[in-house]
């Protein structure tokens, strides 16, 4: 009663290629949709499972919650859904579209390709108050591990999946507190490489524009590679939660394994495996949930 590879091979054989070509065409005009869709899928899976609850419009739905305000790429899912409804009405779930689009986004940024089991159904509940399940960049490592464990994801999965930060950007508002008066010390977060600090301060001046965006993987924000982990080893993580993966003894060995060298290449294949795991969190299948007609509204 789970998801399976090729769920649509009989009912909508072009489903996966329609999603892929839609993601590709949006990516060409706006490459930020790739990190946007990967993050959106993660935020979907952690709240009510991977059921497209994140896509529902309304006054107090998930997308209105703080951690979801900067998600991007909704237009890509809507576009794919429109084309899928024309090709095979009522067949392909929005939850599957999002899971497939996340994989296609990784492929477009030169990451690994993996096979996405499908057959998810769409949820009918979306509440902003449920977004507290999502990890925050200020969470302690214990809290982060607990939030992942609650979804059946272990410490290795956590480190591997946060490696999704190898692409994309963050707004200055989420890390500039580390650069100037960290924990009221009057100095910067000591885990930041002193040679890197002035660069970050130049990107995010004190009392500057908090909405300005900075790459999460310094020097490699457009490429899906293991560079993110090398940056962590070198004190060049951007979010406090990312840098903690290196400073915390329980996660450091996993970071070390992905850093550079011959084993650096293992990150991509482990990421694919961890994504399959995350994409199956609390999925609705069979007769649970529904197949939405429009991804932004329940039927």
Name the residue nearer to ligand HEM (CB basis): 70 or 87.
70
Name the residue nearer to ligand HEM (CB basis): 14 or 212.
212
Sequence-distant contacts of 194-202: CB under 8 A, at least 24 apart: 196/234, 196/235, 196/236, 200/175, 200/238
* Region 259-288 residues binding Ca ion, contact defined as CB under 5 A: none
Does 165 show up as a binding residue in the annotation?
yes
**161 to each of 25, 93, 209, 232, 298, how far by Cα in Å?**
26, 24, 29, 14, 29
CA-angle at 229, arms to 104 and 263, nearest 5° = 85
Does 47 show up as a binding residue in the annotation?
yes
Query: Rounded distance, CA 261 to CA 14, Å?
Result: 40
**Residue 17 in tokens:** 């290629």
Does 49 show up as a binding residue in the annotation?
yes
Q: Are the beta carbons of 77 and 85 closer than 8 angstroms?
A: no
Q: Is 43 a catalytic residue?
A: yes
User: What is the nearest approach in angstroms of Ca ion to the Cβ of residue 54?
Assistant: 6
Q: Which does 164 bind (CB under 5 to 8 A by kind): ligand HEM, Ca ion, none?
A: ligand HEM
The site for ligand HEM (CB under 6 A) is made up of 32, 35-36, 38-39, 42, 70, 72, 135-137, 144, 161-162, 164-165, 167-171, 174, 239, 241
User: What is the nearest approach in angstroms of ligand HEM to the Cβ of residue 28?
Assistant: 17
5 Cβ neighbours under 8 A, 6+ residues apart: 115, 116, 117, 118
Q: Are the beta carbons of 118 and 145 closer than 8 angstroms?
A: no
Please tell me which residue in 26, 39, 41, 43 is annotated as part of the active site.
43
Does 142 show up as a binding residue in the annotation?
no
Catalytic residue positions, numbered: 43
- Per the annotation, binding residues for substrate are 135
- Per the annotation, binding residues are 44, 47, 49, 51, 53, 62, 135, 165-166, 217, 225
- Per the annotation, binding residues for heme b are 165
């Amino acid at each position: 009663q789970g998801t399976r590879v090729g769920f649509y091979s009989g009912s909508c054989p072009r489903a996966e290629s329609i999603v892929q070509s839609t993601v590709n065409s949006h990516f060409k005009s706006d490459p930020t949709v790739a990190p946007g869709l990967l993050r959106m899928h993660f935020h979907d899976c952690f709240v009510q499972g991977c059921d497209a609850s994140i896509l529902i419009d309304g006054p107090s739905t998930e997308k209105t919650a703080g951690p979801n305000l900067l998600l991007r790429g909704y237009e890509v899912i809507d576009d794919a859904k429109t084309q899928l409804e024309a090709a095979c009405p009522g067949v392909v779930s929005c939850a599957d579209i999002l899971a497939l689009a996340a994989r296609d986004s990784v492929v477009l940024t030169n990451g690994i390709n993996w096979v996405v089991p499908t057959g998810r159904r769409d949820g009918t509940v979306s509440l902003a108050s449920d977004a507290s399940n999502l990890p925050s960049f200020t969470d302690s490592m214990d809290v982060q591990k607990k939030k992942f464990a609650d979804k059946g994801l272990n410490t290795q999965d956590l480190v591997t999946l946060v490696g999704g930060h190898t692409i994309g950007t963050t707004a200055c508002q989420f890390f500039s507190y580390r650069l100037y008066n960290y924990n009221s010390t009057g100095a910067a977060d000591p885990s930041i490489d002193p040679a890197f600090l002035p660069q970050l301060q130049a990107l995010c001046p004190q009392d500057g524009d908090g909405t300005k965006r900075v790459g999460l993987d310094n020097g490699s924000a457009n490429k899906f590679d293991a560079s993110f982990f090398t940056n962590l080893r070198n004190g060049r993580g951007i979010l406090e939660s990312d840098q903690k993966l290196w400073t915390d003894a329980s996660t450091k060995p996993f970071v070390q394994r992905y850093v550079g060298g011959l084993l650096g290449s293992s990150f991509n294949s482990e990421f694919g495996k961890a994504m399959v795991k995350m994409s199956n969190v609390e999925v609705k299948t069979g007769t649970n949930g529904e197949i939405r007609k429009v991804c932004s509204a329940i039927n």
